[in-house]
């Protein structure tokens, strides 16, 4: 009797485990098909150059949604290997959450939105920095501007409003000029990428990764937009404006991968 009872209990446990596993699989499959009603990324591009040019075209139009669509977002979330991420860094933070992964629709949606938000923040910092710089506040590069008196506040408000209008007026005439050669950065870039590309492939399931630098014209100002691109299943996406090449070039994160030669 006891043996029979134990057997029945064991069978019931197995059945419940299988049902739970099927439910989790179905939930994760459903999660792959939806991200809160929004799909951020496009279908990818044939070359990394195409991905960067698409980003610049949306940038020219002032289309933030379009800019974000050129990045790997849902694809990156789905391909991230959380154990590989944990094995590499040995920690997680509120800023670095890849080690958590996702287990269903809610956590998948949150991971997708987190990825998209991090990209928007990079682009937002870029706008804030160059607005401050054009307004005569280069100290924004170190992270803050102190405004005490009402006169200072009024001046800042007026100057930044004018600078924002200036940036808005420059975008429609943005022109892509050429791809910037790596020059003296080439040897350092190749040395770093030998290791880094393997990390990206292992942690994020990518096929390949590379960096590009596009020289552009903004009115009478020359500029360079850096971009790191990533490849999944034969399609290229933008990965981050602050990639390996941008770091080697010494760009502050507030630049958002864009170097504008003010007055150049």
For residues 19 and 202, is the Cβ–Cβ distance under 8 A?
no
pLDDT of residue 15: 42
For residues 54 and 45, is the Cβ–Cβ distance under 8 A?
yes
pLDDT of residue 233: 96
pTM: 0.83
Reported confidence tier of residue 263, pLDDT bands at 50, 70, 90:
low
Give me the residues paired with residue 211 across strands: 228
Task: Examine the pLDDT at 29 and tell me if it is beyond 50.
Answer: no
For residue range 183-222, what is the model confidence (pLDDT) as tens digits? 999 999 999 999 999 999 999 999 999 999 999 999 889 9
Angle (CA) 112 127 176, round 5°: 90
Average pLDDT, the chain: 85
Q: Most distant CA pair in the chain: distance in Å?
A: 90
Task: Examine the pLDDT at 24 and tell me if it is beyond 60.
Answer: no
Joined tokens for residue 72: 């790997």
pLDDT of residue 93: 79
Give helix 105-134 / helix 2-32 axis angle, nearest 10°. 30
pLDDT of residue 102: 86
List, as one string, the DSSP characters of 132-188. HHHTT-GGGGGT-----SHHHHHHHHHHHHHHHHHHHHHGGG-EEEEEPP-GGGHHH
Task: Examine the pLDDT at 158 and tell me if it is beyond 70.
Answer: yes
CA–CA separation, 162 vs 142, rounded Å? 22
Reported confidence tier of residue 53, pLDDT bands at 50, 70, 90:
very high
For residues 71 and 238, is the Cβ–Cβ distance under 8 A?
yes
- What percent helix, strand, coil does the chain show, rounded to 5? 60, 15, 25
CA–CA separation, 65 vs 3, rounded Å? 63
Reported confidence tier of residue 141, pLDDT bands at 50, 70, 90:
confident
- Within 8 A by CB and 6+ apart from 68, the residues are 40, 41, 116, 119, 120, 123
Joined tokens for residue 68: 């974000």
CA 47 from chain center: how many Å?
18
For residues 179 and 215, is the Cβ–Cβ distance under 8 A?
yes
Task: Examine the pLDDT at 100 and tell me if it is beyond 90.
Answer: no
Residue 205 C-beta-side C-alpha neighbours within 13 Å: 15
For residue range 67-93, what is the model confidence (pLDDT) as tens digits? 999 999 999 999 999 888 888 878 777
CA–CA separation, 159 vs 203, rounded Å? 44
pLDDT of residue 7: 55
For residues 244 and 211, is the Cβ–Cβ distance under 8 A?
yes
Joined tokens for residue 174: 């943005």
Reported confidence tier of residue 17, pLDDT bands at 50, 70, 90:
very low
For residue range 105-118, what is the model confidence (pLDDT) as tens digits? 999 999 999 999 99
């Amino acid at each position: 009797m006891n043996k029979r009872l134990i057997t029945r209990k064991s069978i019931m446990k197995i059945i419940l485990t299988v049902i739970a596993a099927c439910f989790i699989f179905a939930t994760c499959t459903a999660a792959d098909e939806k991200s809160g009603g929004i799909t951020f990324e496009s279908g990818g591009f044939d070359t990394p150059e195409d991905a960067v040019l698409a980003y610049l075209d949306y940038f020219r139009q002032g289309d933030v949604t379009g800019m974000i669509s050129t990045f790997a977002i849902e694809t990156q979330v789905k391909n991230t290997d959380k154990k590989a991420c944990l094995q590499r860094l040995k920690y997680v933070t509120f800023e670095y959450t890849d080690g958590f992964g996702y287990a269903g629709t809610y956590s998948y949606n949150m991971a997708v939105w987190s990825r998209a938000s991090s990209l928007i923040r990079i682009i937002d910092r870029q706008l804030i920095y160059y607005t401050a710089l054009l307004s005569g506040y280069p100290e924004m590069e170190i992270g803050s501007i102190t405004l005490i008196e009402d006169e200072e506040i009024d001046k800042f408000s007026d100057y930044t409003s004018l600078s924002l209008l200036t940036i808005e007026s420059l975008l429609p005439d943005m022109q892509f000029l050429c791809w910037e050669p790596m020059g003296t950065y080439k040897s350092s870039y190749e040395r770093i990428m030998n290791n880094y590309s393997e990390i990206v492939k292992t942690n994020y399931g990518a096929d390949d990764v590379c960096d590009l630098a596009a020289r552009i014209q903004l009115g009478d100002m020359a500029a360079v937009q850096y971009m790191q691109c990533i490849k999944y299943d034969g399609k290229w996406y933008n990965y981050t404006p602050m990639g390996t090449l941008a770091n080697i070039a010494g760009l502050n994160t507030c630049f958002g991968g864009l170097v504008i030669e003010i007055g150049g």
